[in-house]
Amino acid sequence: YDAQSGVPVDADDLEFRAGWQDGQAESYRKIAAVKVHPDFSFAEQEGLKRVASDLAILRLRTPISHPGIIPFTVAQMPTRGARVAVVSYAHDRSQGPKVHRDCTILGRKEKAQVFGCEVDYGSSGAPVFRLDLGAPMIISVISAKSTHAGQPISLGAAAGEKLVTLASRGANFLRP
């Protein structure tokens, strides 16, 4: 969504950059379509209600067949206190990611997932990874940053349950 107008951005204006590092990607793909979570409303929601459903699936125009690029699996949210990691590109480091390894799950508030780690502006859309299952798996996507009791926190939608909803309502969308 355009931050000023609230109008959805056209899929033709979006590009996925796999493996983005130092201004270069391993693979570039244009976006064919965007499926926003049905509970999300850019204009009508605020705060945690918006965060809880701030998730979309982007369908690439063509698949990526690069041998070094493997999609991440989505997993269910682990329990409170579990250690997780966030990989983000913030406003001050758009050319390379930062891995936030000192994150923990603090719990849920109004269906939004709360993480004990500091992210910065521009980290929206950053994946949150579960690391205890043998391979990194996505459990959430960062939507906002805040503070609680003077400590930085980050907020996101629980990807597992939300992606099931998106996939079930957009089965034809996911197929090329």
pLDDT in tens, 146-171: 888 899 899 998 877 666 666 666 54
Q: What is the mean pLDDT of the chain?
A: 84
Q: Do residues 123 and 59 share a domain?
A: no
The number of domains in the chain is: 2
Q: Which of 68, 71, 72, 67 is nearest to 85 (CA)?
A: 72
The CATH number of the domain holding residue 126 is 2.40.10.10
Q: Do residues 77 and 65 share a domain?
A: no
In a domain, 91, yes or no: yes
Query: How is residue 163 annotated by DSSP?
Result: H
Q: Do residues 92 and 137 share a domain?
A: yes
Q: What is the CA radius of gyration of the chain?
A: 16
Q: Residue 40 sits in which domain range? A: 11-70+163-174
What digits encode the pLDDT tens for the residues 98-157? Answer: 788 889 999 988 788 999 988 877 678 888 999 888 899 999 998 888 888 899 899 998
Q: Do residues 51 and 82 share a domain?
A: no
Q: Do residues 66 and 96 share a domain?
A: no
Q: Do residues 65 and 95 share a domain?
A: no
Q: Do residues 82 and 150 share a domain?
A: yes
In a domain, 5, yes or no: no
Helix (H, G, I), strand (E, B) or coil at 115: strand
- Taking the CA atoms of residue 41, residue 60, residue 112 and residue 92 in that order, the dihedral angle to the nearest 10 degrees is -100
In a domain, 3, yes or no: no
Q: Do residues 80 and 152 share a domain?
A: yes
In a domain, 6, yes or no: no
What digits encode the pLDDT tens for the residues 31-44? Answer: 999 988 888 888 87
> pTM of this prediction?
0.84
